[in-house]
């Protein structure tokens, strides 16, 4: 009996050791969103909820954010391993901090087109970009559409726009009240916020930047150079699991919102489902994305954007496109083929 008890003890210890080995192989990854938990955050919350990251031996923590600039800074500081941020904000960080020791890089494009738009009420008489000249525009100072407005203005011959700054919650309210003539913002954010303030969608003029010659990339997954160097296999596993989850989100947005609701119980499910669908239609399953491929970029377009951002943002040094992007961690083209054909 004594030998049997000893054998059981040995086997038990071996089991615990094996369990410890498995746990040790699970890589913790801290992920920083660009904004709070809204419809589009389903792209990152679904692979967590469905266990795709866990299956890839990753322990992923997804935290809400307060803007792309903050996401870039937190990844640069090493507080987060990966993040989600507007590519222009990443470019600005690189160009304004050329000597920073830990500059993040983009490793996967998610919003193939910038979600930025200029929005005005039809009753204002504004119909085209030319009508914006000399008008009063409103947006938070860090708004991506406002920062990139010089590119939109140059492309469309707009001059003399006057800017009014406000906190994000006041932007659409000030437009509806008539305090400003037009605003800039993400289409899937501001349009729905305007509707929530009693204005019908058909009474809003929406000038999406990509429709008016501004072919900027939007948000990408960014990474600290540290994790790219020290654990490239974990990064590749993250992108594969993310892509698997992204396909589920695109195929069934209504179901995907459940993962967002689980993280923030007070969201308006119907509103956030609409926001997610709008994001998919405008910047994820866009014509440019279907041409270039989900997650991917085109070199000439990236170089043009680098030049445009350098000029529009008046950066300390010129943006170097080659320093911004590293596509070597992407899944295979077959795995990335998740976009449905446009109906």
Average pLDDT over residues 150-176: 96
- Is 208 found in the same domain as 133? yes
Q: Is 332 left (phi over 0), alpha (psi -120 to 50) or beta?
A: beta
- Of 244, 255, 250, 259, nearest to 279 by C-alpha is 250
Q: What is the mean pLDDT of the chain?
A: 93
- Is 299 found in the same domain as 277? yes
Structure tokens belonging to residue 163: 């800017």
Q: Tell me the C-alpha distance between 335 and 44, whole Å.
A: 17
- 239-296 per-position pLDDT tens digit: 999 999 999 999 999 999 999 999 999 999 999 999 999 999 999 999 999 999 999 9
Q: Tell me the C-alpha distance between 128 and 130, whole Å.
A: 5
CB 139 within 8 A of CB 171: yes
Percent of the chain whose predicted confidence (pLDDT) is above 70: 92
- Is 107 found in the same domain as 36? yes
Q: Tell me the C-alpha distance between 228 and 237, whole Å.
A: 12
Tell me the CATH number at 166: 3.40.190.10
Residue 140 lies in a domain: yes
* Helix 232-251 × helix 253-263 angle, to 10°: 120
Count up the domains in the chain and report the number.
2
- Is 234 found in the same domain as 322? yes
Asked if the model's pLDDT at residue 10 lies above 80, the reply is no
Specify the pLDDT at position 12: 55
- Is 327 found in the same domain as 230? yes
CB 294 within 8 A of CB 338: yes
User: Among 163, 194, 212, where does a domain finish?
Assistant: 212
Pairing mode of beta strands 105-109, 219-223: antiparallel
Asked if the model's pLDDT at residue 21 lies above 50, the reply is no
Average pLDDT over residues 15-39: 78
Pairing mode of beta strands 82-86, 27-32: parallel
Which residue range(s) make up the domain with 169? 116-212
User: Among 212, 242, 275, where does a domain finish?
Assistant: 212
Asked if the model's pLDDT at residue 13 lies above 60, the reply is no
User: Among 161, 186, 212, where does a domain finish?
Assistant: 212
Specify the pLDDT at position 276: 98
- Is 222 found in the same domain as 92? yes
Q: Tell me the C-alpha distance between 302 and 327, whole Å.
A: 12
- 104-158 per-position pLDDT tens digit: 999 999 999 999 999 999 999 999 999 999 999 999 998 999 999 999 999 999 9
């Amino acid at each position: 009996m004594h030998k049997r008890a000893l054998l059981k003890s040995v086997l038990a210890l071996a089991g615990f050791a094996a369990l410890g080995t498995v746990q040790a192989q699970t890589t913790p990854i801290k992920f920083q969103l660009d904004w709070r938990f809204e419809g589009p955050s389903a792209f990152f919350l679904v692979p967590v909820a469905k266990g795709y990251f866990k299956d890839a031996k990753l322990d992923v923590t997804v935290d809400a954010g307060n803007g792309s600039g903050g996401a870039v800074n937190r990844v640069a500081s090493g507080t987060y391993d990966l993040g989600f941020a507007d590519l222009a904000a990443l470019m600005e960080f690189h160009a304004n901090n050329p000597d920073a020791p830990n500059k993040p890089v983009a490793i996967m494009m998610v919003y193939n087109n910038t979600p930025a738009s200029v929005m005005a009420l039809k009753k204002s008489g504004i119909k085209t970009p030319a009508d914006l000249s000399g008008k009063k525009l409103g947006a938070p100072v860090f708004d991506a559409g406002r920062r990139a407005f010089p590119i939109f203005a140059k492309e469309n011959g707009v001059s003399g726009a006057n800017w009014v700054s406000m906190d994000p919650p006041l932007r659409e309210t000030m437009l509806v009240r008539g305090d400003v003539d037009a605003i800039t913002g993400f289409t899937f954010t501001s349009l729905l916020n305007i509707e929530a303030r009693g204005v019908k969608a058909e009474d809003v003029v929406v000038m999406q930047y990509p429709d008016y010659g501004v072919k900027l990339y939007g948000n990408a997954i960014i990474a600290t150079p540290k994790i790219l160097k020290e654990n490239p296999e974990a990064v590749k596993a993250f992108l594969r699991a993310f892509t698997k989850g992204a396909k589920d989100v695109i195929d069934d947005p209504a179901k995907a919102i459940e993962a967002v609701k689980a993280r923030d119980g007070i969201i308006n499910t119907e509103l956030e489902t609409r926001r997610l669908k709008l994001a998919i239609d405008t910047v994820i399953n866009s014509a440019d994305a279907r041409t270039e491929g989900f997650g991917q970029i085109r070199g000439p377009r990236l170089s043009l954007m680098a030049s445009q951002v350098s000029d529009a943002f008046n950066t300390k040094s010129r943006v170097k496109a080659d320093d911004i992007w590293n596509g070597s961690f992407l899944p295979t083209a077959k795995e990335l083929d998740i976009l449905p054909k446009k109906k």
